[in-house]
Chain A
Amino acid sequence: MQVEKFYYDNKTVKLFAYATILWGTVGMLVGLLAAVQIYLPAANFGLPYTTFGRVRPLHTNAVIFAFVGNGIFMGVYYSLQRLCKARMFSDVLSKIHFWGWQLIIVSAAVTLLMGYTSGKEYAELEWPIDIAITLVWVVFGINMFGTILTRRESHLYVAIWFYIATWVTVAMLHIVNSFEIPVSFMKSYSWYAGVQDALVQWWYGHNAVAFFLTTPYLGIMYYFLPKASNRPVYSYRLSIIHFWALIFIYIWAGPHHLLYTALPDWAQSVGVVFSLMLIAPSWGGMLNGLFTLRGAWDKVREDPILKFMVVAITCYGMSTLEGPLLSIKSVNAISHFTDWTIAHVHVGALGWNGFLTFGILYWLIPRIFGTTLYSKKLATNHFWIGTIGIVLYAVPMYWAGFEQAMMWKQFTPDGILKYQFLETVTHIIPLYITRSIGGLLYLSGVVLMIYNIVKTVKSGSLIANEAAEAPALSKDIQTHGKQYWHRWIERRPIQMLVFSLILVAIGGIIELVPTFLIKSNIPTITAVKPYTPLELQGRDIYIKEGCYLCHSQMVRPFRDEVARYGEYSKAGEFIYDHPFQWGSKRTGPDLARIGGKYPDSWHYNHMLEPQSMSPGSIMPSYAWMLDDPIDTASTPAKIRAMQTMGVPYPKGYDKQANADLMMQANAIRINLKIDKIQTTANKEIIALIAYLQRMGTDIKAVSKTTEAKMP
């Protein structure tokens, strides 16, 4: 009567595991495609849906939220039940959670390829999906806290703390960042403009890394590493300390993504300082992981699972050391906008997240199927192929990044830039090729794993409900402390849940704050005017095609950049940019000052066939823009949306916006006609040209006066 019998839910775990594998493969496949497209533009098959600008966000979303996301849930659903000695709170919620999440992924994949994007990196999904995510996340939360509440083990193991932290923080980040004003179903504008948007975005962007790719996986590591090696974690105290330290520091490292940008200095410095402080807790985690295996290296030699975990932890250590270093201003000046960043993130993603996930899959699948792994040998091969893959991926990218940065900054003795931008690109193409080979290897490793796991699954049968027993948490006082303490403890998890929900609510309320903040005191530049309707449409096309993924719009105050692109960017220039389009990578040149650089016809032909204008360019053709018409129907709504966000269009301008649009469009059409190009005014290309020609021109008039201010 005393001991309670109950059953662990392995079905959901299995589903999440399968989803992890499926989406992992898809995500990496797409990644591989994108990698190929970098040196083989034709690999976009001439279709808008498969062009880099849309494939790349699909890749990032797929691997982060689909692969790692499902990986997290797999790990949490397996370990949380066992750590709490209780079945997941509600099977229904588990179902909703699983299928809801998969639905979101599918819709994300479809919409992204169709070009529905909010234009904010790692948060590209449009508002209806954002809402869906919020709901599913709350479901997950209730399910998790419910389990914690009904647990049979009084102590909350450190892993659970990591899970809680993940849930709460991600909820907050998601809500604060994806606050946008819908224009239509599947189209919205970010509430924040320019610099502010940038700050929010990267505050989110960084913490997405911190609390989606790191804390949950640390939690998972703290459960599965000891289990797989059958030895307790090196220092439990250390794990506790490093958890609390991490939680309190992480949140503020965000701004290091915006060094040397138009973001105020002090905000940048905040980012730097906190990033540097991060080293300590991060390494606390890594060392704790590695020391756990001390004296068990013989095991590691034998066991592929431990191999995967060791490399994963090492990669974690490397990237958590590199991250802070990259956020040192002088380093960042070189690394930013180059492939260095790509290398950095992939060491983390392929090494830390990928390998840990594989290790766990190899350990977990046989367990829930009551069998043993089909082939240790295959797993070991997978490990080696994967490792080589990572090396072949990372090394060339570091090299490329460094090489390119150096070339960008070189001047001839007589003070002119040594290299054209294009040269710096063509120069590193071999490295791009090597990188894609690394990716291919990594992926083929995954294929091996799939085969291995299929065989394993075949050899066993799922223990859908794993029987377990444990004494109930005695409801009267624990041996220490007074009566009411205990009651208090027992109620705690609910309160934590309530707290979190309140927090979500607070988030919602806080979202109203920006409306009051619109009158922000960004140093306004009188010359900066709102976009014309046509430019606005053009900008949306720019966003839709994901141009920001290869082209930055942020000239940093460096000699080379000013020489190459022109006047460095000022915070004041972006006050009408919903969302900001600074970008984070320069596969192509910066466009902040593109306006007026080339004639309209150049852009027209360039979009039709880039190589014709700049031979050797790796930019794909955007031929369809020449035929697709501008969606003028949406113009009034867009204008109104902009007005609600304080963009000073005259009252009732939405009525005549389209008229102005056509007028400007015709002007461009005539321009093109002069250059022997026949087209009608209502084509997307026209709008895009309008936007491109506008970019960075406002300030040119006043640039002379601001020159003095340059540091």
Chain B
Amino acid sequence: MAKTTTSLTAVQCFHCGEDCNKDRISAYEKNFCCSGCKMVFEILDKSNLCDYYSISKTPGTQQKNTIREGKFSFLDDKKIAASLTQFQNENRTHINFYLPQIHCSSCLWLLENLHRLDNAIISSKVNFERKEVDIVFSHHQTSLRKIAELLSGIGYEPYLSFNDMGKQMPKVNASKIYKLGIAGFCFANIMLMSFPEYFGIDTKEYSLLTTFRFANLALSLPVFFYSATEFYVSAWKSIKHRFLNIDAPIVLAIWVTFGRSIYEVLSGTGGGYFDSMSGIVFFMLVGRVLQDTTYRQLSFERDYTSYFPIAVTRVFEQKYESILLSEIKLDDTLLIHHEELIPSDGILTRGKALIDYSFVTGETAPVEKEMGEIVYAGGKQLGSNIELLVIKEVAQSYLTKLWNKENDKSEKNETYSFVHLLSRYFTWIVFGIAFMAAAYWYVHDISKVWNVITSILIIACPCALFLSNTFTNGNILRRLSRNHLYLRNAEVIERMASIDCIVFDKTGTLTTGRFQQIVYEGEPLSVEQKNKLSVLASQSVHPLSKAIVSWTGIQERAKISSYKEVAGYGIEGIVGSELISLGSYSFITKDKSKRREPSIVYVAIEEKIIGKFIFRNQYREQVPTMLSQLGLEYYHMAVLSGDNDGEKNYLQTLMGSHTTLLFNQDPIDKLKAIKKLQESGKKVMMIGDGLNDAGALTQADVGIAISETNHHFTPASDGILSAEELPKLYRFIQLCKANKKVVVTAFVISIFYNIIGLSFAVSGSLSPIVAAILMPSSSISIVLITFGLSNYCSNLYQLK
């Protein structure tokens, strides 16, 4: 292993690669940033699994905040365990864990060698794309809890949430793929056996020719009766909805083609158009499959249950027991650990609560609660352990109710893609032509009527439109996903193109939720003073204190006496014979008149104010430019923030005077705001991150959830956008607008083919060879055109 250390920079943690600061640990001639990392290394080293570190450099994840002892004790509960396991027989259990930390080949290797750490594990298989591991273990020798702890022990803490309960793996529904495969197979062979037809087979070989024809007929059956059902179904649905969608005319064309071909073969008058039929079905299926690409690693269907823990600790007759969330009863006393989510509304009965509601309400500053105060579900306890008396069951609690309120509005009014309307006109025109042609031939040469009508219907199948649509959608979705915007499905593209109003959430969306911008105003501080400040501040767990510590950039361990913390107001203590205080104005000056300024902390030495820290949210890079750009494009913009109005002015200047800025919005307000905009005839796009935006996101015409890298909380939405790509928003919208243009262009081009084809058909002289060349060539060229154009557009907007 010696070699590895030399290949690493001295200060890098051997395990996680983070820079080790002062309190670095050196052991085994390696450096670790924290004891957590060192521990993991020891575990692996013991079982001789150090290849983990050689497969890829510093593969670990930082282990600073160690997992609470007995965090997974609830897995010992039979009921809970049963609800999680996928399969169990007399001696084996199958469990599937979601491990968000999976990121490199080392992870894969280690997680598939778990059996070396614990030989009760029979096998473990990683699904890299889903970041999941399937573990089979013998439950006689170990337990679910042990395995969860083992995983946490090596730095892969399983993420278990309330909705993992009785989670069923989505079954691989690949029927489309089968249809595609079969269509492709038949198409290729039919084409093959149609060649003699096209290249003029020797009349002496007529027997051969008929053989080919019947073979083609046989091969076309699976296409017609299986592969094409895809379209039959949706066509039938649309007819039942009294709405003629694009599939209807396509199905008609397929049937006519098939019927006529069969007639020709049986009557020996020709080879039919089996190749065209199967070809079209094949290409269209390809289009469908491309368009329906799903992002396996993402879920657009999150509800509050994914944020809640599976189980909580209940205090019962002085004993702690872990119970399922669903078992929480009124008047239960719950123990909430540090960094744990509050599952249901309750009254604080022990300890001091410091609750981070940013996720629910969007407020950045955590809220202190004293004993006897009501705490709402959804917040995260930052302080030490607390106990609370349940006053509302999970299902009734504030957050959940709010969620359910949203859900009943969640279904969007069915909007039909313009493609369907387009195809409808197209179809009617074609019918018209067919009718006239028929009439004409009825007069001149009645024998040709049937022939002509069928040819026209075959040629004029709007499959070109279908193809251009599906392929463009598919390709644009692909390009967007390359830029880390993952849309739920193809309809979203169109909706996104049509929006004229964009609503942002502030915290976590425009700003990075966590790191705050901190500005000091007042007398310059000497190094010595800074030291003292940091010593004082480092006594408190309050995020503002933490921020100040990191601002001073010093981590001195100095003596401090008579330290005092007044929750929600400030802290003070004597450092080196000087009384230092940090806190609100009222806390220091003891005059209650001045109104509370949530994002300002005053600094006082010997009760004399020498300056103040102003906290401002850190805006994401380039977000300002993006906003101004959108402004220029006359998008109506708005900001709905759950946070205080501390930055109203700043935002106002940023986004221009015409933007509406609303602060202290609770989730319901946000939802209502969106509705109001919609009622005023706006097509609204909502962009937010937290649970507090969930309602708004579902209500909006397009709801885009922002996700930090590796951040697995994204509320239900139409799309997921990774935070650092937010500045591209404008270009994304542009591309979605381009989508429609591309489709139409391609379609117009395809119409030319149709015209050529029609002219042949109408004149009653459509030779198989012409049809055979026309059909695939048009399809393929359409495909190429759409790909070319959509790629061109996305390059035009400088998208990856």
Contacts and interface: CB of A to CB of B under 8 A. Distances in A.
Q: Does A associate with B in a complex?
A: yes
B791 interface: no
Contact of A479 (B87, B195, B199): B87
Given A477-B87, A521-B204, A3 B188 contact: no
B252 to A, nearest CB: 30
B119 interface: yes
A478 B115 contact: no
Contact of B201 (A2, A264, A472, A478): A264
A708 B414 CA distance: 70
B195 A266 contact: yes
B115 A2 contact: yes
B566 interface: no
Contacts of B120: 2
A479 B205 CA distance: 56
Nearest to A523: B204
Nearest to A522: B204
Among B87, B119, B124, B198, which residue has the most Cβ atoms of chain A within 10 A? B87
Interface in B108-165: 115-116, 119-125, 134, 136, 138
Contacts of A185: none
Interface in B78-96: 86-87, 89, 92, 94, 96
Contacts of A480: 86, 169, 171-172
A266 B205 CA distance: 12
Contact of A270 (B94, B119, B195, B205): B195
A620 B722 CA distance: 76
B541 interface: no
Nearest to A2: B122
A646 B305 CA distance: 80
Nearest to A524: B204
Contact of A269 (B125, B138, B188, B199): B199
A476 interface: yes
A3 B124 CA distance: 11
A218 to B, nearest CB: 20
Given A264-B202, A266-B200, A476-B92, A273 B119 contact: no
A266 B115 contact: no
Given A266-B199, A474-B136, A478-B134, A2 B119 contact: yes
Nearest to A265: B199
A266 B191 CA distance: 12
A702 B369 CA distance: 112
Nearest to B116: A3
A449 B67 CA distance: 57
Given A2-B138, A265-B200, A476 B87 contact: yes
Given A264-B205, A479-B86, A3 B169 contact: no
Interface string A478-501: 111100000000000000000000
B508 interface: no
A598 interface: no
Interface in A223-282: 232, 248-249, 252, 264-266, 269-270, 273-274
B303 to A, nearest CB: 23
Q: Give the interface SS of chain B, mostly helix, strand, loop or mixed.
A: mixed
B192 A474 contact: no
B200 A474 contact: no
A2 B137 CA distance: 9
Band of interface residues on A: 20 to 34
B474 interface: no
B195 A248 contact: no
Given A264-B205, A269-B195, A273-B195, A474 B188 contact: no
B171 A3 contact: no
B184 interface: yes
B185 interface: yes
Given A248-B184, A266-B195, A266-B200, A471 B123 contact: yes
Interface string A437-473: 0000000000000000000000000000000000111
A1 interface: yes
A481 B87 CA distance: 11
A474 B92 contact: yes
Contacts of A479: 86-87, 94, 96, 134, 169
Contacts of B100: none
Given A273-B195, A472-B123, A477 B94 contact: yes
A461 B86 CA distance: 47
B339 to A, nearest CB: 30
A252 B200 CA distance: 19
A617 B527 CA distance: 100
Interface string B572-609: 00000000000000000000000000000000000000
Contact of A252 (B136, B172, B192): B192
Contacts of A266: 195-196, 198-201
A471 B201 contact: no
A267 to B, nearest CB: 8
Contacts of A478: 94, 134
A556 B89 CA distance: 72
Among A154, A249, A266, A477, which residue has the most Cβ atoms of chain B within 10 A? A266
B172 A474 contact: no
B207 interface: yes
Contacts of B105: 232
A3 B138 CA distance: 12
A392 B192 CA distance: 40
A471 B207 contact: no
Contacts of B119: 1-3
A269 B185 CA distance: 20
18 contacts: A2-B122, A3-B116, A232-B105, A248-B188, A249-B188, A252-B192, A264-B201, A266-B196, A266-B198, A266-B199, A266-B200, A476-B89, A476-B94, A477-B94, A479-B96, A480-B172, A481-B172, A521-B204
Given A3-B115, A252-B192, A474-B92, 20 more contacts: A2-B120, A2-B123, A248-B184, A248-B188, A266-B198, A270-B195, A471-B123, A471-B136, A472-B122, A474-B122, A476-B89, A477-B87, A477-B94, A480-B86, A480-B169, A480-B171, A480-B172, A521-B204, A521-B205, A523-B202
Interface of B: 86-87, 89, 92, 94, 96, 105, 115-116, 119-125, 134, 136, 138, 169, 171-172, 184-185, 188, 192, 195-196, 198-202, 204-205, 207
Q: A-B pairs with the 7 shortest C-beta distances?
A: A266-B199, A471-B123, A480-B169, A266-B196, A2-B122, A269-B199, A479-B134
